[in-house]
C-alpha cells in the first residue's frame, strides 16, 4: 500500500462571520511526513476538520490523489483513504481496546474475525498487546493516544491525520511514538500529516512544515528553513516567548 | 470462515453460562406441563406469558437503545400499528395473522423509518429524539381515534371463534405461550448474532461516540436507521401477538405513552445493552407486580385495608430502589456474582 | 360551527382569549420544568405528577378549611418547594450528570409513587372546587371571560413576576442563573452547587405546585391527569425553548391558544393534534425553541 497525495487548494472557513481559516494551500506528496504547526487558535484543527470532512470548506478544494474530497462526509473521507485522530481523544469508552480497533478494521472487511485479527496485529505493533481486554475508559492518557492512532490505522488509510498525538506524553513515550510512525512510514509508505506542539517530535519526524497563524499560512519549508524564518520567529518569540 | 454458526454465537461464553441457558430453555419449554400439576396453574401460566412477552419486546427495544444508543419512548407506535394492521386485515378483510404479520412489520418499519429518518437527518439526540418518538406515537393515537375503518375510539375487537385455530392465531393460552416463547428465543439468538456482526459493532461504536464512529468510516445515519427499522419490525410482531392474545384494541391504550414506558422498563432495570437484561428485568418486574397484587389482596382481606394504587406504590418503591442501587441494571451485577459474565475486561 | 361568519369570528376570538388565559397557567407549569432543566440538565419526567399533587393539596385546603385555591396557593407552593428540595437532596442529586435513561427511570419511579399515592389517598374520582365566582364572567365588548380563568391567569402572572424578581434581584437567584449558564464556573467561584440544585428543584416544584392550585379553578382533578400534564409540559418547553424561562411562558400561551382554537376548528378530541404537530415541527426545524435566539 502506498501513500496518497494530499493537495489543499486555497481553503477557507468562517464561523458566524469570524474567519477561522483563509486561503490556505499546501501539498503533502505521497509517502511524505509533513507537519502543520502554529500557535493556539491558528486554525490547524479547523484545517484538519475540513480535510476529514467534519465540515466543508467555504471556498477552495481538497484533493486526494487528484480526486476532490471537499464536502464529503467523514465516513466517506475515511473510505477514500484518510484516517484521523482527535485532539481530545475519543475512544469508545465502554468497549475494550480490541473492540475499539476492530471497529476501525471493519471499514475494509465485513468479517468480524478478520477485523479482529487485523486489530490484534496493529495493537501488537503499537505495544498495546497487554491492554487488549481493558475497557478504554480505564486506560491512561498515553495509552488512549496510542489507541486513537491504532483505531485510525485500522481503517487502512493511505493518509494519516494525527492531531497532537504526542501532547501529554513523556519524552520516552514521545520517542517511542516517533519511532513507530517513522517505521510505519518506511514500511508502508503511508502519508502522514501531523499537527503538533511538541517541537522535538516535529523536527524528528517531518520533512516539511507548514506554519499557520491567525488562519493564514505564513511560512512553509524544511524544518531548518522554517525555524529560521523571521515571520515564524516573530509569531513564536513574540507571542509565546520561546 | 470455517467457524460454524454455533461457534460464532457461543464464542467467549462460559460453559457454565451455556449450561444454565440450556436448562432455562428446557424449563420454559416444559413449564406449561409443570404448571399444570400446580394449584392455580392457569394463573401462573398467564404470569409466565407476560414475562416472556415483556422480555421479547424489551429485547426489540434494546436493539435501538441498548445497542445503538437511541432512546425511544414511543415504541407503543410500533406495537399499536402492528396490532392494528394485523387485526384490521383479519377483521375487515379476512386476511389471517400469519400473513398479516408481514404487512404489520412493513407498516411499523415504514413508521420507524419516518421517525428515524426525520430525527437523525435533523440531528436530534437524547431527550430531543425521545420526545420526537413520543410525539409521533401520540399523533398516531389521535389519528386512530378518528379512523373509522378500525373502529375509531370505540375500539377494534377480534371475535372468539368457535372454529378458531392456530392458523388464525386463535386458541388456548398454551398456543400463545409457545408462540411468544418461540419469538423470544428467536429474537434472543438474533440479537446475539447481530452483536457478533459488523452491524452490531457499528451500533456500539455509535452508542459510545457518534463522531468517532463516523471518523472510523461508519455511515452513522444509515446504521442508526437500521437499528430503528429492525427494532420497529420486531416490536410490531409483538404488537400482533398482543392484539390476538387480548382480542381487543383501543387507540387510548394501544398507542399510550404508558405502553411505551412499559416497553423500556425491563431492559433498563435488567441491564441496558445486555442480552439477559430484558429477560431478567421482565421476570423481576412481572414478579414484583404479582407480589404486590397478592400483598394488596392480603391487606384488603385480612386487615380490611383497601385502597386503589397500593400495589403500584409497592411497585414504585421497588423500582426506585433498584434504579438507585443498581444503576447499570440487575443482570450485570447478577452475572458477576454467578460468574456468568464473559469477562471481557481483563485486569491490565 | 356556525354558518354566520361574524359569529364564527367571535367564537374564534373568544377561544383565543380563553386559550391565552389557560395558557398563562400552562406557562407557569412549564416554567418549573424549564428552570429544573436549565440548571440541572435533568428532565423532570414526574412533572405532571407534581402538578397533580399541587391540585390535590389545593383541593384539600378547600375541602377541609374552605380555602379558595387563590388563598391556599402560597401554602401549596411552599409545600411543593419543601418536597422538591428534599427529593433533590435525597434521590435525584446522585443522578445529575448520569445518562438520560437513568434519570428517566428514576423520575419515572418517583412519578409512579406520586400518582399512586394520590390514587390511594383520594381515590380515582374527580374532585373540584366550588368558589362563589365560579359562574361569574367579565364582558369585554362582545367577549365573555370566565372569572375563574381571569383570576387564575392573573395569579400565574404574579407568580411568574415574583420568580423573575427572584432570579434578577436576589443573590440566590443570580447564583442559580450563574450555575445554569456555567456549571464549572459556578464551582470555581465557590458556589455551593448542591444547595443551589436543591433550591432550584424546590423552585421548579413550587412553580408547578402553584400552577396546580390555579388549574384546580379551571378543571377537576383526578390522578390520571398526571401523564397528560407531563406531556403537555414537555410540548410547551420544547416549543418555547428548553431551559428558557420566557420561552416557557410564551410556549404556554401558544399551546393554550392552539388547543382552544383546535377545539373550535376541529373536534375537541383532536385538540392536541395541533400541539403535537407543532412539537414535531419545532423539534425538526428549530430544536432550540421557537422563541430562543439561535446560539
Instruction: State whether residue B209 sits within 8 Å of chain A by CB.
Output: yes
The alpha-carbon gap from A226 to the nearest alpha carbon of chain B, in Å, equals 31
Cα gap B227→B210, rounded to integer Å:
14
The alpha-carbon gap from B74 to the nearest alpha carbon of chain C, in Å, equals 12
Cα gap B252→B256, rounded to integer Å:
6
ipTM over 0.95: no
Q: Provide the 3-class DSSP secondary structure of residue B136.
A: helix
Residue C292 in this model has a pLDDT that exceeds 80: no
Instruction: State whether residue B339 sits within 8 Å of chain C by CB.
Output: no
Give strand ranges (E) for chain B: 156-157, 248-249
Which chains lie within 8 Å of chain A at 3 or more CB pairs, if any? B
As given in the structure block, the three cell numbers for residue B38 are 400446580
Residue C293 in this model has a pLDDT that exceeds 60: no
Which pLDDT belongs to residue B300? 85
Residue in chain C nearest B328 by alpha carbon: C102
Which pLDDT belongs to residue A238? 65
Q: Look-up: residue for cell 487485523?
A: A118
Residue A62 in this model has a pLDDT that exceeds 80: yes
Which pLDDT belongs to residue C141? 83
Q: Nearest-CA neighbor of A74 among A49, A45, A91?
A: A49
- Cβ distance of A112 and B208 shorter than 8 Å: no
With contact defined as beta carbons under 8 Å apart, do A159 and A64 qualify? yes
With contact defined as beta carbons under 8 Å apart, do A161 and A28 qualify? no
Q: What is the mean predicted confidence (pLDDT) over A47-65?
A: 94
Instruction: State whether residue A140 sits within 8 Å of chain B by CB.
Output: no
As given in the structure block, the three cell numbers for residue A27 are 501539498
Instruction: State whether residue B7 sits within 8 Å of chain A by CB.
Output: no
Instruction: State whether residue A93 sits within 8 Å of chain B by CB.
Output: yes
Element (H, E) at C145: strand C143-146
Q: What is the mean predicted confidence (pLDDT) over A166-173?
A: 90
Q: Nearest-CA neighbor of B236 among B140, B123, B124?
A: B140
Least confident range of A79-83, B144-148, B257-261, C135-139 = C135-139
Residue C75 in this model has a pLDDT that exceeds 90: yes
Q: Nearest-CA neighbor of C49 among B255, B314, B316?
A: B316
Q: Which tens digit of pLDDT belongs to each residue from C153-200? A: 999 999 999 999 998 898 888 888 877 776 666 665 666 778 888 999
Q: Please state at what angle helix A141-154 crosses helix A97-105, rounded to 10 degrees.
A: 20
Q: Which tens digit of pLDDT belongs to each residue from A24-55? A: 999 999 999 999 999 888 899 999 999 999 99
Residue in chain B nearest C278 by alpha carbon: B135
Nearest to B345 among A84, A96, A102 (CB): A96
Strand A191-195 relative to strand A33-37, pairing: parallel
Nearest to C102 among B258, B265, B327 (CB): B327
The alpha-carbon gap from B43 to the nearest alpha carbon of chain C, in Å, equals 25
Instruction: State whether residue B131 sits within 8 Å of chain C by CB.
Output: yes
- Mutate which of A103, A133, A140, A162 to test chain B, going by most B C-beta atoms within 10 A? A103
Q: Which tens digit of pLDDT belongs to each residue from B36-50? A: 888 888 899 999 999
Instruction: State whether residue B295 sits within 8 Å of chain C by CB.
Output: no
CB atoms within 10 A of CB B226: 18
- Cβ distance of B142 and C100 shorter than 8 Å: no
Which pLDDT belongs to residue C186? 62
Give strand ranges (E) for chain A: 6-15, 18-28, 33-37, 59-64, 67-68, 82-84, 159-163, 191-195, 208-213, 216-221
Instruction: State whether residue B154 sits within 8 Å of chain C by CB.
Output: no
Chain length of chain C: 295
For chain B, the farthest-separated pair of C-alpha atoms sits apart, in whole angstroms, at 67
pLDDT bin (cut points 50, 70, 90) of residue C3 is low
Element (H, E) at C146: strand C143-146
CB atoms within 10 A of CB C262: 21
Cα gap B80→B138, rounded to integer Å:
11
Residue A241 in this model has a pLDDT that exceeds 60: no
Which pLDDT belongs to residue C1? 46
Cα gap B105→B77, rounded to integer Å:
12
| DSSP output for B188-238 | HHHHHHHHTSHHHHHHHHHHH-HHHHHHTT--HHHHHHHHHHHHHHHHHHH
The one-digit pLDDT tens for each residue of chain B (348 residues) are 456 888 888 887 888 888 888 999 999 999 999 988 888 888 999 999 999 999 999 999 999 999 999 999 999 999 999 999 999 999 999 888 999 999 999 999 999 999 999 999 998 988 899 999 999 999 999 999 989 899 888 999 988 776 667 777 777 889 999 999 999 999 999 999 999 999 999 999 999 999 999 999 999 999 999 999 999 999 999 999 999 999 999 999 999 999 999 999 999 999 999 999 999 999 999 999 999 988 888 888 888 777 778 888 988 999 999 999 998 899 999 988 887 765 544 443
The DSSP symbol for A110 reads S
37-66 of A, contacting B, C-beta below 8 A = 52, 54
Cα gap C228→C49, rounded to integer Å:
9
Least confident range of A90-104, B314-328, C48-62 = B314-328
- Mutate which of B65, B213, B215 to test chain A, going by most A C-beta atoms within 10 A? B215
Instruction: State whether residue C266 sits within 8 Å of chain B by CB.
Output: no
Nearest to A78 among B216, B345, B348 (CB): B216
Confidence (pTM): 0.91
Residue A156 in this model has a pLDDT that exceeds 90: yes
As given in the structure block, the three cell numbers for residue A46 are 479547523
The alpha-carbon gap from B8 to the nearest alpha carbon of chain A, in Å, equals 10
- Cβ distance of A73 and B202 shorter than 8 Å: no
Residue in chain B nearest A51 by alpha carbon: B215
pLDDT bin (cut points 50, 70, 90) of residue C7 is confident
Which chains lie within 8 Å of chain B at 3 or more CB pairs, if any? A, C
With contact defined as beta carbons under 8 Å apart, do C233 and C30 qualify? yes
Which residues on chain C are in Cβ contact (under 8 Å) with B126? Answer: 100
Q: Provide the 3-class DSSP secondary structure of residue A241.
A: coil
The region, left, alpha or beta by phi > 0 then psi within -120 to 50, assigned to residue B131 is alpha
As given in the structure block, the three cell numbers for residue C161 are 413576576
Which residues on chain C are in Cβ contact (under 8 Å) with B130? Answer: 100, 104
- CB burial of residue B7 (10 Å; 0-12, 13-18, 19+): exposed
Nearest to A74 among B215, B344, B345 (CB): B215
- Cβ distance of C269 and B142 shorter than 8 Å: yes
Which pLDDT belongs to residue C153? 95
240-279 of B, contacting C, C-beta below 8 A = 257-258, 261, 264-265, 268-269, 272
Q: What is the mean predicted confidence (pLDDT) over C54-68?
A: 95
Q: What is the mean predicted confidence (pLDDT) over C230-253?
A: 89
Cα gap C239→C255, rounded to integer Å:
9
- Cβ distance of C284 and B122 shorter than 8 Å: yes
Which pLDDT belongs to residue B346? 44
Cα gap A75→B168, rounded to integer Å:
47
Residue A61 in this model has a pLDDT that exceeds 60: yes
Q: Which tens digit of pLDDT belongs to each residue from C262-281? A: 888 887 778 888 888 889 99
With contact defined as beta carbons under 8 Å apart, do C269 and B145 qualify? yes
Q: Which tens digit of pLDDT belongs to each residue from C91-115? A: 999 998 888 889 999 999 999 999 9
Q: Which tens digit of pLDDT belongs to each residue from A180-207? A: 999 999 999 999 999 998 888 899 999 9
- CB burial of residue A167 (10 Å; 0-12, 13-18, 19+): middle
Residues 6+ apart with CB under 8 A from A143: A128, A131
Cα gap B239→B14, rounded to integer Å:
34
Continuous H helices in chain C: 5-40, 47-65, 69-87, 100-122, 147-169, 171-181, 183-188, 193-218, 226-240, 245-265, 271-285
Nearest to B198 among A78, A93, A112 (CB): A112
Nearest to C109 among B126, B307, B319 (CB): B319
Which pLDDT belongs to residue C256? 93
Cα-atom radius of gyration of chain C, to the nearest Å? Answer: 19
Cα gap A194→A149, rounded to integer Å:
12
Each residue of C161-182: b (16+ CB within 10 Å) or e? eebeeebeeeeebebbbbbbee
Q: Provide the 3-class DSSP secondary structure of residue A12.
A: strand
Instruction: State whether residue B127 sits within 8 Å of chain C by CB.
Output: yes
- Cβ distance of B142 and C120 shorter than 8 Å: no
Residue A123 in this model has a pLDDT that exceeds 80: yes
User: What's the start-to-end Cα distance of chain A, in Å?
Assistant: 40
Higher pLDDT, B3 or C14: C14
Instruction: State whether residue C30 sits within 8 Å of chain B by CB.
Output: no
- Mutate which of C45, C47, C105, C242 to test chain B, going by most B C-beta atoms within 10 A? C105
Cα gap B64→B233, rounded to integer Å:
12
Residues 6+ apart with CB under 8 A from C101: B65, B71, B264, B268, B272
Which pLDDT belongs to residue C142? 84
As given in the structure block, the three cell numbers for residue C201 are 428543584
Q: What is the mean predicted confidence (pLDDT) over A138-166?
A: 94
| DSSP output for C21-57 | HHHHHHHHHHHHHHHHHHHH----TTHHHHHHHHHHH
Amino acid at each position: 500500500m502506498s501513500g496518497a497525495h494530499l493537495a489543499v487548494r486555497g481553503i477557507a472557513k468562517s464561523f458566524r462571520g469570524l474567519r477561522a481559516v483563509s486561503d490556505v494551500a499546501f501539498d503533502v506528496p505521497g509517502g511524505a511526513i509533513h507537519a502543520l504547526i502554529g500557535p493556539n487558535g491558528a486554525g490547524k484543527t479547523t484545517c484538519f476538520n475540513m480535510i476529514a470532512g467534519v465540515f466543508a470548506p467555504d471556498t477552495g478544494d481538497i484533493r486526494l490523489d487528484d480526486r476532490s474530497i471537499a464536502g464529503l462526509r467523514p465516513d466517506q473521507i475515511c473510505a477514500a483513504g484518510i484516517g484521523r485522530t482527535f485532539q481530545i481523544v475519543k475512544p469508545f469508552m465502554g468497549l475494550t481496546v480490541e473492540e475499539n480497533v476492530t471497529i476501525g478494521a471493519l471499514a475494509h472487511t465485513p468479517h468480524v474475525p478478520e477485523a479482529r485479527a487485523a486489530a490484534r496485529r496493529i495493537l501488537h505493533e503499537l505495544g498495546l498487546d497487554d491492554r487488549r481486554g481493558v475497557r478504554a475508559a480505564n486506560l491512561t492518557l498515553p495509552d488512549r493516544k496510542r489507541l486513537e492512532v491504532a483505531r485510525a490505522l485500522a481503517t487502512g488509510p493511505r493518509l494519516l491525520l494525527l492531531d497532537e498525538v504526542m501532547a501529554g506524553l513523556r519524552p520516552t513515550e514521545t520517542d517511542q511514538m516517533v519511532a513507530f510512525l517513522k517505521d510505519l512510514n518506511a514500511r508502508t509508505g503511508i502519508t502522514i500529516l501531523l499537527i503538533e506542539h511538541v517541537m522535538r517530535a516535529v523536527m524528528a519526524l517531518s520533512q516539511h512544515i507548514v506554519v499557520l497563524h491567525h488562519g493564514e499560512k505564513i511560512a512553509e519549508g524544511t524544518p531548518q528553513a522554517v525555524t529560521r524564518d523571521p515571520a515564524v520567529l516573530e509569531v513564536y518569540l513574540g507571542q509565546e516567548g520561546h | 470462515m470455517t467457524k460454524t454458526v454455533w461457534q460464532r454465537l457461543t464464542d467467549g461464553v462460559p460453559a457454565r453460562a451455556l449450561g444454565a441457558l440450556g436448562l432455562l430453555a428446557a424449563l420454559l419449554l416444559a413449564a406449561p406441563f409443570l404448571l399444570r400439576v400446580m394449584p392455580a396453574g392457569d394463573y401462573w401460566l398467564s404470569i409466565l406469558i407476560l414475562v416472556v412477552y415483556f422480555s421479547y419486546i424489551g429485547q426489540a427495544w434494546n436493539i435501538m437503545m441498548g445497542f445503538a444508543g437511541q432512546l425511544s419512548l414511543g415504541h407503543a407506535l410500533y406495537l399499536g400499528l402492528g396490532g392494528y394492521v394485523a387485526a384490521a386485515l383479519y377483521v375487515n378483510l379476512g386476511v389471517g395473522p400469519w400473513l398479516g404479520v408481514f404487512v404489520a412489520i412493513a407498516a411499523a418499519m415504514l413508521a420507524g423509518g419516518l421517525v428515524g429518518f426525520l430525527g437523525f437527518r435533523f440531528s436530534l439526540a437524547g431527550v430531543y429524539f425521545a420526545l420526537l418518538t413520543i410525539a409521533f406515537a401520540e399523533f398516531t393515537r389521535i389519528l386512530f381515534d378518528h379512523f373509522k375503518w378500525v373502529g375509531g375510539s370505540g375500539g377494534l375487537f377480534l371475535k372468539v371463534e368457535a372454529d378458531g385455530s392456530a392458523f388464525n392465531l386463535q386458541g388456548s393460552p398454551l398456543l400463545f405461550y409457545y408462540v411468544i416463547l418461540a419469538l423470544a428465543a428467536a429474537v434472543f439468538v438474533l440479537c446475539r448474532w447481530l452483536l457478533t456482526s459488523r452491524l452490531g459493532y457499528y451500533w456500539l461504536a455509535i452508542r459510545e461516540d457518534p463522531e468517532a464512529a463516523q471518523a472510523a468510516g461508519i455511515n452513522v445515519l444509515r446504521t442508526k436507521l437500521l437499528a430503528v427499522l429492525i427494532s420497529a419490525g420486531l416490536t410490531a410482531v409483538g404488537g400482533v401477538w398482543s392484539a390476538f392474545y387480548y382480542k381487543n384494541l383501543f387507540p387510548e391504550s394501544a398507542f399510550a405513552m404508558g405502553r411505551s414506558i412499559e416497553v423500556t422498563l425491563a431492559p433498563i432495570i435488567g441491564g441496558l445493552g445486555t442480552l439477559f437484561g430484558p429477560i431478567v428485568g421482565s421476570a423481576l418486574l412481572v414478579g414484583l407486580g404479582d407480589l404486590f397484587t397478592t400483598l394488596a389482596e392480603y391487606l384488603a382481606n385480612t386487615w380490611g385495608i383497601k385502597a386503589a394504587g397500593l400495589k403500584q406504590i409497592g411497585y414504585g418503591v421497588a423500582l426506585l430502589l433498584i434504579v438507585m442501587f443498581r444503576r447499570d441494571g440487575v443482570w450485570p451485577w447478577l452475572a458477576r456474582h454467578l460468574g456468568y459474565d464473559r469477562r471481557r475486561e481483563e485486569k491490565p | 360551527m356556525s354558518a354566520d361568519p361574524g359569529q364564527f369570528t367571535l367564537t374564534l376570538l373568544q377561544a383565543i382569549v380563553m386559550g391565552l388565559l389557560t395558557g398563562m397557567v400552562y406557562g407557569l407549569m412549564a416554567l418549573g420544568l424549564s428552570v429544573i432543566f436549565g440548571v440541572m440538565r435533568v428532565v423532570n419526567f414526574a412533572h405532571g405528577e407534581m402538578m397533580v399533587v399541587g391540585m390535590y393539596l389545593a383541593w384539600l385546603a378547600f375541602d377541609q378549611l374552605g380555602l379558595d385555591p387563590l388563598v391556599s396557593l402560597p401554602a401549596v407552593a411552599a409545600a411543593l418547594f419543601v418536597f422538591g428540595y428534599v427529593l433533590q437532596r435525597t434521590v435525584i442529586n446522585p443522578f445529575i450528570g448520569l445518562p438520560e435513561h437513568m434519570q428517566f427511570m428514576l423520575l419515572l419511579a418517583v412519578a409512579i409513587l406520586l400518582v399512586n399515592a394520590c390514587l390511594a389517598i383520594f381515590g380515582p374520582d374527580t374532585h373540584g372546587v366550588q368558589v362563589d365566582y365560579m359562574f361569574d364572567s367579565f364582558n369585554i365588548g362582545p367577549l365573555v371571560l370566565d372569572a375563574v380563568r381571569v383570576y387564575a391567569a392573573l395569579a400565574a402572572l404574579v407568580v411568574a413576576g415574583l420568580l423573575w424578581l427572584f432570579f434578577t434581584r436576589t443573590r440566590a437567584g443570580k447564583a442559580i442563573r450563574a450555575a445554569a449558564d456555567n456549571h464549572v464556573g459556578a464551582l470555581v467561584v465557590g458556589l455551593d452547587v448542591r444547595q443551589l440544585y436543591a433550591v432550584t428543584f424546590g423552585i421548579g416544584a413550587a412553580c408547578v405546585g402553584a400552577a396546580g392550585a390555579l388549574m384546580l379553578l379551571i378543571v377537576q382533578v383526578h390522578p390520571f391527569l398526571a401523564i397528560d400534564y407531563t406531556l403537555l409540559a414537555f410540548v410547551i418547553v420544547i416549543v418555547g425553548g428548553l431551559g428558557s424561562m420566557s420561552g416557557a411562558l410564551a410556549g404556554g400561551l401558544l399551546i393554550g391558544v392552539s388547543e382552544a382554537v383546535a377545539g373550535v376548528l376541529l373536534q375537541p378530541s383532536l385538540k392536541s393534534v395541533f400541539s403535537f404537530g407543532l412539537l414535531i415541527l419545532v423539534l425538526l426545524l428549530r430544536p432550540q425553541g421557537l422563541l430562543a435566539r439561535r446560539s
